[in-house]
Amino acid sequence: MQAASITLFDFDSKLETPFSPRVWATRLLLNYKQIQHKTTWIHFSEIGAVLEAARVPPTRTTAPKYTVPAIIDGENIIADSRAIAEYIERTYPERPVPILAADHQKAIDSAAAVLRPLVVPNVVNHLEGRDAVYFRESRRVMFGKELHEICPASQRDEMIGAFEVALTELSDFVGQANEQGWLFGKDGPAYEDFELAGWFIWAKVAGLPDLWERIESLNDAKWSKLVSVVESYMSVY
């Protein structure tokens, strides 16, 4: 691995596998580029205090203002996964990972917006104590409703169906994978491959089991194939 002293902030939980989708995008990028780093685990309920003390800039103007991923690399402190990717690519150009035009990220974000309400209500089951309380309260502010109202049981099948439609649209956008299995990159991965994989890892790890079962066989199994491709870069340090 390339010598570096990067600290990567991520959420702690009851799960053995981390689940934050945007942190996964950063972690996959660091591992692919073979950049040494170490994860600092923080509780949901302490994110503001910990990141503010570390001089990490807020990424939002309204609560919750602080988000992960965030990294510290020497005197450089960066928040927001996209800004981190741009910094990493600029600072560590070996094993290049291109960051594509905005329409690629927009395509991913459109699908992620439909996925989010399917997974968020189940995340609280992986948290304890103050973290669970914080998660409920912060998501009530973000969504404007209680967790159980985000994805009511009576509407869940319909919402999963809407996500399947969104994935088909995304499938049409990305086309076929390259010989290595990447969907966005040509000769290797693009950063968007890691972004998209992060959302699927989140769904697989933090969502209800039947959700991933529905996803993995869709669109000629291209989504589960992408997750299989990134497994080589999922080491957690």
**pLDDT digits 0-9 by tens, 43-79:** 999 999 999 999 999 999 987 899 999 999 999 999 9
Q: What is the pLDDT of residues 17-38, one digit of tens each?
A: 999 999 999 999 999 999 999 9
Which residues have a Cβ under 8 Å from the Cβ of 128 and sit 6 or more positions away? 14
Mean pLDDT of 79-84: 98
Query: CB of 145 within 8 A of CB of 138?
Result: no
63 CB neighbour count, 10 Å cutoff = 12
Residue 3 clears pLDDT 80, i.e. is over it? no
Where do the domains of the chain lie, and which CATH numbers do they carry? Answer: 2-91 (3.40.30.10), 102-233 (1.20.1050.10)
CA dist 210 and 203 (Å) reads 10
Quick one: 84 exposed, middle or buried, by C-beta within 10 A (0-12, 13-18, 19+)? buried
Which residues have a Cβ under 8 Å from the Cβ of 189 and sit 6 or more positions away? 32, 97, 180, 182
Name residue 8's beta-bridge partners. Answer: 39, 71
Q: What share of the chain is helix, strand, coil (3-state, %, to 5)?
A: 60, 10, 30
Give the residue among 112, 115, 119 at the shortest CA–CA distance from 208: 119
Q: What is the pLDDT of residues 112-152, one digit of tens each?
A: 999 999 999 999 999 999 999 999 999 999 999 999 999 99
Query: CB of 59 within 8 A of CB of 66?
Result: yes
Residue 1 clears pLDDT 70, i.e. is over it? no
Alpha-carbon torsion (38, 180, 228, 203), positive or negative = positive
